[in-house]
Amino acid sequence: MAITALNTRTKTERGERLMLRNPKRLSWILTIITSTLLFLGYSASAQTPLTDCDRLAANTTDARKHSSAPGVPFKQVRENVNAALSACADAVKSFPNELRFQYQYARALQIRDKKSAAQLFAKLSENGYPAAFDNVGWIQISENNDYDAAIRAFRKGYELGDADCAVSLFEMIERGKWKPENENQIRITLLEKAAAANHAGAVVALPIERAKHGTAPNDSTAAAPKPAAASTPSFDCSKATQITDKTICSDGNLALLDRRYVSLYREAHSGREGDRALQFAQELTSRKMRCGSDSSCISAVYQDGIVHFEKVVERQRGAEREAQERTKPRVTAPQDVHARDYRADFTYWSQKIENLHYQCDGGYAPGCNNLGFMYQKGEGVRLDKVKAVELYTKACDRGYARGCYNLGASYESGEGVRQDKVKAVGFYKQACMANLSLRANT
């Protein structure tokens, strides 16, 4: 963030002093926001400058955030909540017509005052602010257990183009709370729309969902891959002569797909299915070159290749593990067996952990839960039950029932957190409200 340490400290202290110890100021700000929402419409982000409110509280998937603001994960908002509240209060005062500041203020306020934040999200949704519908929907679930109202909110937000609402509708299908016609196609369409808007969790889930249902990518909505700091492809762009290669070099998303595809291909080619991998790669390269400068076409080709080679690599790794099991001596200590497996298959585990981290950071609750389970059991990572509780909390906060159940079990057993059976019961209730069958984690 473009904020000095001194500025951060000053804003934090001011946030604590003004927001937490001066309820009149808070009431005054809420009055400004609610009255503005009732009588004023949305004004384009381009009409207002980039502010500290944008840097500290913008939602990464908010289509109406400032064009120069990448957005911040909710965890980061929580860590800088006082500075965010102060900055957004100032922004609301300076630009009362700008709904994005009011949304970002509500996003930070929910950490301190859920009830007031819920009122603001409701007013924002009444005024058609797309990102607010996702908050309204999850509030309906967490506070009222009203899935019908939540789904109505998600659908409205989705119709307005909100990526979070698309992913939330996907989760409703996953939970069995919404059963639309052509369910499999709807699931893929929702993820395609969210991934096209660069929703991190959707980008990861989309190829998995396509492979599950045997559906080819839709070129018009082909997903962009996760953003990365190093946005260069696997080849030397200074030597690129083909229009397709030049297009890949100019697009960081395509560059990331290229690196992922090439990495998987190399591993597949080095294994027992190497000849077939080479033949498939040659066919895919011909397809890719025919795309010319069509980015969506290139992306779709890469997605096909990634899905194909992920399956090949998984088969080869499985065969290698079986061969190792047949040749190595029997070991009575399970921990030794596990440690040996992990060292022999480090690439597999590192990629699995990386994908789960990315899913979780992108707001995909099942990814947080699954990653927490791995930390709890020490599978592929160093055993860390405190980290597991943190990840289960993220999943539960997102409304994922299994995450709430695992969090309740942690509080009940005292693993990774101070034992508190009252809190455990509370989290179990949240899990039951989501209609979770209380089974062991898998």
CATH at 384? 1.25.40.10
Looking at the structure, tell me whether residues 250 and 370 fall in a common domain: no
- pLDDT for 225 equals 36
Looking at the structure, tell me whether residues 261 and 346 fall in a common domain: no
Looking at the structure, tell me whether residues 359 and 308 fall in a common domain: no
Looking at the structure, tell me whether residues 306 and 390 fall in a common domain: no
Our count of domains for the chain comes to: 3
- Taking a C-beta distance cutoff of 8 angstroms, is the pair 384, 373 a contact? no
Q: How far is CA 82 from CA 12, 55, 115, in A?
A: 5, 13, 18
Looking at the structure, tell me whether residues 60 and 89 fall in a common domain: yes
Of 327, 353, 374, the residue that ends a domain is: 327
Asked, for residue 271, whether it belongs to a domain, the answer is yes
- Taking a C-beta distance cutoff of 8 angstroms, is the pair 224, 198 a contact? yes
- Taking a C-beta distance cutoff of 8 angstroms, is the pair 78, 111 a contact? yes
Q: What is the dihedral of CA 355, 356, 357, 362, to 10 degrees?
A: 90
Asked, for residue 407, whether it belongs to a domain, the answer is yes
Asked, for residue 216, whether it belongs to a domain, the answer is no
Asked, for residue 180, whether it belongs to a domain, the answer is no
Looking at the structure, tell me whether residues 10 and 109 fall in a common domain: yes
Asked, for residue 404, whether it belongs to a domain, the answer is yes
Q: State the residue range of the domain holding 295.
A: 237-327
Asked, for residue 406, whether it belongs to a domain, the answer is yes
The CA distance from 150 to 139, in Å, is: 8
Asked, for residue 189, whether it belongs to a domain, the answer is no
Question: What pLDDT tens digit does each residue of the chain (442 aa) get?
Answer: 333 333 444 444 444 444 444 555 555 555 555 444 444 434 444 458 899 999 999 998 898 999 888 888 888 888 889 999 999 999 999 998 899 999 999 999 998 888 999 999 999 999 999 999 999 999 998 888 899 999 999 999 999 999 999 999 998 998 888 998 888 889 999 998 888 887 877 887 788 777 776 665 554 444 333 333 345 788 888 888 888 888 888 887 788 788 888 888 888 888 888 888 888 988 988 899 898 888 888 988 888 888 888 888 888 877 777 777 666 555 443 333 333 333 344 455 566 777 777 778 777 788 888 888 888 887 777 888 889 999 999 888 888 888 888 999 999 888 888 888 888 888 888 887 754 433 333 3
- pLDDT for 108 equals 92
Looking at the structure, tell me whether residues 1 and 125 fall in a common domain: yes
Of 304, 327, 350, the residue that ends a domain is: 327
- Taking a C-beta distance cutoff of 8 angstroms, is the pair 125, 136 a contact? yes
- Taking a C-beta distance cutoff of 8 angstroms, is the pair 298, 287 a contact? no
Looking at the structure, tell me whether residues 381 and 258 fall in a common domain: no
Of 99, 129, 159, the residue that ends a domain is: 129
Looking at the structure, tell me whether residues 311 and 377 fall in a common domain: no
Looking at the structure, tell me whether residues 316 and 351 fall in a common domain: no
Looking at the structure, tell me whether residues 15 and 115 fall in a common domain: yes
Asked, for residue 213, whether it belongs to a domain, the answer is no
Q: What is the dihedral of CA 114, 115, 117, 122, to 10 degrees?
A: 130
- pLDDT for 328 equals 56
Looking at the structure, tell me whether residues 109 and 52 fall in a common domain: yes
- pLDDT for 157 equals 93
The CA distance from 433 to 144, in Å, is: 10
